[in-house]
Amino acid sequence: MLLNDVHSQLNPTSVTDVVRPTTLEALCEVVKQAAREGVSLSVAGARHAMGGQQFAKGQRHVDMTGLHRVLHADASLGLLRIEAGANWHHIITASHQMPAPGGGTWAIRQKQTGVDEVTLGGSISANAHGRGLLMQPLGADIEDLTLVDAQGEVLLCSRTQNAELFSLVVGGYGLFGLIYAATLRLTPRQRVRRMVDVLDLTDAMNAVYRRVDDHCLYGDFQFVIDPQDDTFLQRGVFACYKPTSEVEAPGTVNADLQPEVWLQLLKLAHDDKAQAFKLYSQHYLGTHGQCYWADTMQLSTYIPSYADYLERASPADQPAGPKQTLVIGELYVPRDQIAAFMTQAARVLKAHGVEVIYGTIRAILKDDTSFLPWAKDDFACVIFNLRTVHTDEGKARTAEAFRGLIDAALVLGGSYFLTYHRYATRAQVVQAYPQFEAFLKHKRHFDPQERFTSDWYRHHVALMGRQP
């Protein structure tokens, strides 16, 4: 059976079979049966990671999406215990059923931007982040995890119970067990007002500090993607979100682009980047001052079949070329190094002749939960979606560009996100993640039979110079 990731579609992987348990007992049995048969397991939620973390060639695959029930809702403390195959729609709906003590309901603090169907288990395993201006990655919002370990036994992991395992599972890419459920810390639901500026990168950092002083909670900066433009990567749309208590605030307006507008802009970003940015900034400036709920504002329009749409939207007289999709990469740099990084990033992208289709800058606070933190410090996070043609040359170009961008980030004391690809060299992995060897050692300790595996794991084991 052939499985693939959703966004890049660059990880076709043949697995022996797929199991989709719908109860905790069935999940434990999957692991016990795998042990009896001597097979390994890969595990996936919504299959949005892009480095082969959720697949293992020739092994059994566990699909977690059948597990999405609410297990316990503590409305006095704002703690939601829910199965890990739940996606953000399930979680947000469940949080709205929980009355908050001061009136209103509870809500999530953060979720990924750009995709909603990802699961809680997948999000914890990547230690994902949203666009909070003063937030650590998602692990900070996790009170505890219910894990099915390599023996098929159920373990509760938290900061006080099985604490080491807890820190390994958060950002641990499914290598330490199957996350059956997690308790998510919620926040009282509030309204926010969107504030939009178009500004230069040189002003952006100060603008962030001003907005933080002004109590804004969320924000991001979407930059110019046209390499012919003098302001390439240097100018952008800065959108921030400030809490508001105004009663007339509508709070229900959809914060993101309508699907047809999203597709049009995506197509324009391929064909006419200047026009794409112009329309995008007009759209955002037109929403300046609008109010949203802080949680549903984070929901995004995303169409998984976007590559088929782009192919269909090509002129009829143009012969269909090889498949094209987007590959994402995320780089981190100390905040005061963002200008230097973006200047170097522009050089790298131009030198490799790769096209940015979409890019954004966000902020993160130093992570104190994960054993393998990508947010090693308070960083600026720079995300690039690169157009990637599925030929050897096209894929190599994207890989080289991302290696160049990783070097540019590392030189400035930064890092990169493990979830989006596995292009990094050994030296880059070790510099960005000095504890990677120790991470693999812990893996062998907790799972000596390698019951849980993935092509991403096997790649890194080989890269680090050990046999899987």
Q: Which residues bind ligand FAD (CB under 6 A)?
A: 7, 43-49, 53-54, 64, 84, 112-115, 118-119, 121-123, 125-126, 128-129, 173-174, 178-179, 302, 419, 454
Task: Please state, in angstroms and rounded to a whole number, the distance separating the CA atoms of residues 23 and 205.
Answer: 47
Q: Provide φ and ψ at 285, rounded to 5°.
A: -60, -35
Q: Which is nearer to ligand FAD, 86 or 100 (CB)?
A: 86
Q: Which is nearer to ligand FAD, 284 or 374 (CB)?
A: 374
Q: Which is nearer to ligand FAD, 54 or 337 (CB)?
A: 54
What is 360-393 written as a DSSP string?
EEEEEPPPSS-SS-S--SSEEEEEEEEEEESSHH
Q: Are strands 291-293 and 191-200 parallel, antiparallel or unpaired?
A: antiparallel
Q: Kindly report each contact of residues 248-253 with a partner whose C-beta sits within 8 Å and lies 24 or more positions away, as own/partner.
A: 249/191, 249/193, 249/291, 250/290, 250/291, 251/191, 251/291, 251/292, 251/293, 252/293, 253/290, 253/291, 253/292
Least distance from ligand FAD to the Cβ atom of residue 44, Å = 3
Least distance from ligand FAD to the Cβ atom of residue 245, Å = 28
Q: Which is nearer to ligand FAD, 48 or 460 (CB)?
A: 48
Least distance from ligand FAD to the Cβ atom of residue 347, Å = 26
Handedness of CA 270, 272, 273, 279 (dihedral sign): negative
Instruction: Please list, in sequence order, all residues whose beta carbon lies within 8 angstroms of the beta carbon of residue 75, skipping any fewer than 6 positions away.
Output: 98, 99, 100, 101, 106
Q: Rg of the chain's alpha carbons, rounded to an integer?
A: 22
Least distance from ligand FAD to the Cβ atom of residue 103, Å = 30
Q: Which residue is nearest to ligand FAD (CB)?
A: 122
Q: Which is nearer to ligand FAD, 100 or 324 (CB)?
A: 324
8 A C-beta contact, residue 234 and residue 201:
yes
Could you give the residue ranges of the DSSP H alpha helices within 38-135? Answer: 88-96, 120-126
H-helix or E-strand containing 158?
strand 154-158
Q: What angle do CA 423, 114, 60 make, to 5 degrees?
A: 55
Least distance from ligand FAD to the Cβ atom of residue 77, Å = 24
Q: Which is nearer to ligand FAD, 54 or 281 (CB)?
A: 54
Least distance from ligand FAD to the Cβ atom of residue 178, Å = 5
Least distance from ligand FAD to the Cβ atom of residue 9, Å = 11
Q: Which is nearer to ligand FAD, 84 or 401 (CB)?
A: 84
Tokens for 262, please give them.
Answer: 């999203």
Q: Which is nearer to ligand FAD, 81 or 129 (CB)?
A: 129
Least distance from ligand FAD to the Cβ atom of residue 316, Å = 29
